[in-house]
Structure 1
Amino acid sequence: MSNERLRAAIAARGWTHAILAEATNVDPKSVERWVNLGRVPRRQTAIQAADCLGEDLHALWPELRQTRAARAVSPELVALYGQRADVAPSMFVDLFARAHERIDILVYAAVFLHEAYPRLNTLLVERAAAGCTVRIAVGDADSANVQQRGREEKFGHGIESRCRLALLHFQALHATPGIEIRTHSTTLYNSVYRGDDEMMVNAHVWGTNAYAAPVWHLRRIVDGGLFDTYADSFDAVWQTGRPVKG
C-alpha cells in the first residue's frame, strides 16, 4: 500500500525521491519503497526525513507512534489532534504563510491567532499583496447562534465579547485589496483555516470550548474528497455572510 501522505509532502516541497534520499543518506530505492510500497524506515531515518520535509513524523508514519495513535481514514488526512490546544499556533501561521492563491478563515472568534502571533494582520496583508485572495468570516456577536453557543459552552457573554474582539482585530484589514471580511450567523459546526490545498479543521463538540475539541489537518489530493467537503462548507457559509464596512 502506497504512502500518499509522504508522496504529497515530497511533491509539495518540489523534491524528488533522489533529493530526499540524499538528505537522509539512504539509497533512492529506499525512498521509492517508502512511497510506493508503504515501507516504514527506521525511526531515526524517519525523524530526519520528516524534519527535512517540515512534516509531522507520525503524520507520515503513524506506525511509529508509541502512544495514542491516530488512524487515517482518508489519504487527505495528514494528522488528527485530540484537541486544538495540542496544535502549536505556528502551524496555523505557517499554513497561511505558505499560501500563494487562497486563504480562508471561518470562525466565531479564534482570537488565539492574534494573541499568539501579533503580526497576523501584517502577514495577511503581505500574502494579499503577493496575489493571494483572503476571505475571513467571523461570528456575528448579536446572532442567536453565537449566543446559544455561549450558553452551551457555559461561556455566557464571553463568546460574544470574543467575536467583537476578533472583528476589531480583523476590521483594520477591510480596505486592503485582496482581503474581504464578513460576519456570519450560522451554527458553526467546524472552524476552518485554509491555505491553498492545506487546511486545519477544528471540529466543534457540544458543550466543549474549541481549544479542547479535535483538529483535522488535511491536504487536498483528490477531487470531491474530505478537503473539498470542508471547502464547500466554507463557501456556503461565506454566501450567507454580511460584508464588514469600515
Structure 2
Amino acid sequence: MPNERLREALLKQGLNLDHVARAANVDRKTVERWITKNRLPYPKHRHTIAAMVRESENYLWPDALPAERKAEVGVSEVVKVYPHRNAIPVELWDRLISEATKQVEILVHAGLFLVERPTFVKDLAKKAENGAQIRLLFGDPASREVVRRSEEEQLGKATLGGRIRNALAFYRPLRAVPGVELRFHKTTLYNSVFRFDDEMVINTHVYGFQGAHAPALHLRRLSAGDVFETYSESFETVWAESKPADF
C-alpha cells in the first residue's frame, strides 16, 4: 500500500522525488519506494523528511516506533499540566499568540476569554495577511449539543448559546479576511484545542465544571510524538464535519 500521507505532504510543500533524494542523500528510486511501496526509511532519513514537509514522523510513519518508545516521547511532549485553565499565565498566552506565524487552530464552544484580550482579533487578521492559516471552530449556538453542555455545566439552557453569540460578535471583522475560516460544529466537545504552530493548549472538559475550572495541558510538538498529533487529527475530524459559520 502506498504511503499517501507522505505523497500528500510532499505535494503540499511543492517537493518532488529529486528534492527528497538530494536532502536525504539517497537514490531517487529509494525515495520512490518509500512512497509507492511504503518502505520505512532509516531514522535519520525520517527526521530529514519530516522537517522538510513540516509534519511529524509519527503522522508520516505511524508504525515506525514501538509502543514503548512512543510512550517515552509522549511524556516529553507535555510541557506542563495546569490544574485549571485559568491558572495558565497570561505571559504564556501572549507568547503563543505573538509567535505563531504558520497556523492558528482553535476548537471551542465560545472561547470568550480569548476576545477579552483587546488585540486578539486584530492579531489574527494580521497573521492571516502575512500568510498564516487561521481556522476557528465554534459550537453551533442553535444546536442541541450546546444546549446540553450548557445544562451539564449548570448554566441553564440558553447561557452557553448566548456566550457563543457574544463571542462571535467580536469575530465579525475576520469574516472578510482572506486566510481566515470560521465554522460551526455540533460535536460533543471533550476538549477545547488551541494550536499555535507547533505548540498547543488542551483544555480538558470535566462533567459539571466550566472549562475555566478544568485542567489544561501545554503541549509542544515533537517529530516522533503521538500526543500532539492525536489532538491535531481530532481537530481535523471536527473540521471536516463542520459547516461555515453563518452569523
TM-score under structure 2 length normalisation: 0.67
Q: CA separation in 1, counterparts of 2:220 and 2:234?
A: 16
- 1:174 counterpart SS class: helix
Cα offsets for 1:86-144 (capped at 9, x unmatched): 013442242122111110010000111111x1111110011111111000001111111
Q: How does 1:130-149 map to 2 (within 5 A)?
A: 130-149=130-149
Partner of 2:118: 118
Structure 2 residue identity aligned to 1:153: E
Q: CA separation in 2, counterparts of 1:227 and 1:205?
A: 20
Q: CA separation in 1, counterparts of 2:221 and 2:238?
A: 20
- 1:75 counterpart SS class: helix
CA RMSD after TM alignment: 1.6
Partner of 1:205: 206
Q: CA separation in 2, counterparts of 1:93 and 1:147?
A: 32
Cα offsets for 1:145-184 (capped at 9, x unmatched): 1110111110112111111112222232011011000011
Q: CA separation in 1, counterparts of 2:217 and 2:245?
A: 29
Partner of 1:165: 166
| Structure having greater relative contact order (Cα 8 Å, sep ≥ 6) | 2
Structure 2 residue identity aligned to 1:139: G
Q: CA separation in 2, counterparts of 1:148 and 1:80?
A: 28
4+ residue segments displaced more than 6 Å: none
- 2:86 counterpart SS class: helix
**Deviation of the 1:245 alpha carbon:** 4.4
Partner of 2:231: 230
Matched, 1:84 2:85: yes
Q: 1:242 to 1:78 in 2, by over 3 A?
A: same
Where in structure 2 are there 5+ consecutive unaligned residues? 1-72
Q: CA separation in 2, counterparts of 1:170 and 1:216?
A: 26
Contact 1:140–1:183, Cα closer than 8 Å, also in 2: yes
Contact 1:84–1:213, Cα closer than 8 Å, also in 2: yes
Q: CA separation in 1, counterparts of 2:148 and 2:136?
A: 22
**Deviation of the 1:224 alpha carbon:** 5.1
Contact 1:108–1:139, Cα closer than 8 Å, also in 2: yes
Q: CA separation in 2, counterparts of 1:90 and 1:144?
A: 36
TM-score under structure 1 length normalisation: 0.68
